[in-house]
Structure 1
């Protein structure tokens, strides 16, 4: 399948997904490549390998990672035995769920830190330490 991809936009999206989704560079490139599949037809393993010029094992590992973390999925078409990889239509929900989980974890840690600070202040009797705020 022929895609019309603007090089600079592809590079910028790849860099963004490396940071925002904490993806390795090749996984981010594959994810970005799938973003340009506006018809959601999907790509075969061979198409991805040919267009991104990476080894079979690297492509395989990256696709496996993207599927495992819920950012991509694969389908098989009726007239083909090949797998077609495409973005998981629920990836935005998956991403927000991951962010919520991360925020909840951080909130829990800060609650524990605040409780520990209270115990230290009571034990030490240090009024100055009691005035130090922990921002949550």
Structure 2
């Protein structure tokens, strides 16, 4: 199975971006990227291995890691022993919910730092808005955008039931 040069470049670009974000090995990031730009029907082990150009053992290990992280899942077709790998349907929703919680924790930490500095270094707050307050507002705005996105995904899924 061959893919276009355009798709190869896109897989590489997505993979490079996802490595640090998802803390993935380069091969796992490329496999995830490949599945991201493939049909929701998914790809077989052999198709993934052939497109990515990796060994059987490396492909297997990285597919297992991605499955354990719940970034991808697989299914089988009746009468077919092959597994078809695809992006996990609700990974994006889970990632957004985790991001919302992370932002909440960061807001609480910034509030603690700001409160501490107000008591111990009040001169920082006499004539200007503190960096902590500016940061807290930024984080709250980000959290609001994440919440809106989560709501839209949930509403979309509810309308399909």
Further displaced range: 97-106 or 27-36: 97-106
Inter-CA distance 63–27: structure 2 relative to 1 (3 Å threshold): same
RMSD: 2.5
Secondary structure at 1:75's aligned position in 2? strand
Q: Which runs of 5+ in 2 are unaligned?
A: 137-161
Q: Is the 8 A contact 1:5 1:36 kept in 2?
A: no
Number of residues of Structure 1 aligned to a counterpart in Structure 2: 130
* In structure 1, C-alpha distance between the alignment counterparts of 2:99 and 2:83, rounded to whole Å: 30
Give the structure 1 partner of residue 18 of structure 2. 17
Inter-CA distance 100–48: structure 2 relative to 1 (3 Å threshold): same
Q: Which runs of 5+ in 1 are unaligned?
A: none
Residues 75-102 of structure 1, C-alpha deviation per residue, up to 9 Å, x if partnerless?
1111122221111122321231232122
Further displaced range: 13-22 or 26-35: 13-22
Inter-CA distance 98–36: structure 2 relative to 1 (3 Å threshold): same
**Structure 1 length-normalised TM:** 0.75
**Structure 2 length-normalised TM:** 0.65
